[in-house]
Amino acid sequence: MKKLLAVLLTAGTLFSVSAQSSETAVIENVNNGGVASLRGITELDTTRQADELKRVIKDRSPIDRDYVYQPPLVPHQTRHYEVSLNANKCLSCHSWKYAGEMGATKISVTHYQARDGEVLADVSPRRYFCLQCHVTQADAKPLIKNDFQRVDSLR
Amino acid sequence: MKLILNFWRKLTAPSKAAVGTVLAMGFLGGIIFWGAFNMGMEATNTEEFCSACHAPIVKELKETIHYSNRSGVRAICSDCHVPHNWTDKIVRKVQASNEIVAFLMGKISTQEKFEARRKHLAVREWQRMKENDSQECRNCHNFDYMDFSEQGPRSRKQHSTALASGEKTCVDCHKGIAHQLPDMSDVPGW
């Protein structure tokens, strides 16, 4: 009985040792080939230190659009604005009911249309999650240089 | 039985002890009683005490600015939900004895039960805040010391008009600032 136990134990340790060595072998093979990407030249298996958080614009006048059909950008903070099954904080100013009184931009009429174009009496569920298209802004440096130009009509 | 009778006789009959002793005993008893009373009041004002029943709502608070912010000043449940003024505080504490019954009946003992009662609880609290002109907000956020030039245009517009004239009170607009909201479909302004 004792012998059997000893054999089992040694087999166990040997197995775990071999498993560990194969794991380290895998990690040694991880290599980014010296290519710098948006996340820098960090090895794939290491976690790069996160960038500093950007400060969101607190509150300003509406931001001009860069192209036709661009969802207007959010020129104010939206921290802790609840958009859930129970409540939609954005609509308490931007809905057609309150926009005038609050001096806010009214949501577009397209938000009352269902997928097949039929007009609904209230905001269409597919348009309910405002921050999916309308985003807050921060003064951040573009990650990649780009030569985007506005169309003539918006210049 | 005899012991109680003897004690009663001692309470009703004039004492042979010196007035000083009786006074000293009275003072000492008073201090102990008042201390214990205050300790009880404070113990039932702590976050731990509240979260014994309202655990889900304490979790929600952690994401909000009243829990975590740049300067580390924070509010606990009782800062907003228990009046600071002594008499109002006692009134609220007496009302709270009703909430012990709710606890014993397990009215919000699960997340589902709590969600079902969220609207009821929220509406009651909004009503209370509306009636006392959002006193618990104003305990920290004093209108007289608000610097509109430091506020964003949106806040300035509301605070310098509707709030300044007293037409609106804090809670009219600032709902769900420390908790998630209930179904808001029939709430004015939503």
Q: What is each CA distance from A90 to A106, A126, B158, in whole angstroms?
A: 11, 15, 16
Q: Is the pLDDT of residue A9 over 90?
A: no
Q: Best residue in B180, B181, B185, B186 to probe A by mutation, most A CBs within 10 Å?
A: B181
The residue written with tokens 């009778």 in the block is: B5
Express each pLDDT in B113-170 by its tens digit. Answer: 999 999 999 999 999 999 999 999 999 999 999 999 999 888 999 999 999 999 999 9
The whole-angstrom distance between B158's CA and the closest CA on chain A is 9
- Picking from B188, B186, B63, B51, the residue whose alpha carbon sits closest to that of residue B119 is B186
Express each pLDDT in A29-84 by its tens digit. Answer: 667 777 777 777 887 788 888 888 889 998 889 999 999 999 999 999 998 899 99
Q: Is the pLDDT of residue B8 over 70?
A: yes
* pLDDT, position B108: 87
Quote the ipTM score.
0.76
Neighbours of B108 (CB within 10 A): 22
pLDDT (average), residues B93-97? 90
The partner residue sitting opposite B184, judged by closest CB among A59, A60, A87, is: A87
* Percentages (nearest 5) of helix, strand, coil residues in chain A: 30, 10, 60
DSSP string for A12-59: HHHHHHHHHHHHHHHHHH---TT--BTTBS--TTSPPPPPPPPPBP-B
Q: What is each CA distance from A39 to A53, A144, B18, in whole angstroms?
A: 15, 12, 85
State the Rg of chain A over Cα.
28
Hey, is the C-beta of B162 within 8 angstroms of any chain A C-beta? no
Express each pLDDT in B51-76 by its tens digit. Answer: 888 888 888 898 899 999 999 999 99
- Burial class for B162, CB neighbours closer than 10 Å (0-12, 13-18, 19+): middle
Express each pLDDT in B13-57 by its tens digit. Answer: 877 778 888 899 999 999 999 999 999 989 999 999 988 888 888
Neighbours of B172 (CB within 10 A): 17
The partner residue sitting opposite B190, judged by closest CB among A59, A79, A87, is: A87
Record: contact A59-B155, CB cut-off 8 A:
yes
Cα separation of the two ends of chain A: 88
CA distance B96 to B124: 13
Record: contact B65-A79, CB cut-off 8 A:
yes
Mean per-residue pLDDT of chain A: 83
CA distance A128 to A84: 9
CA distance B68 to B78: 17
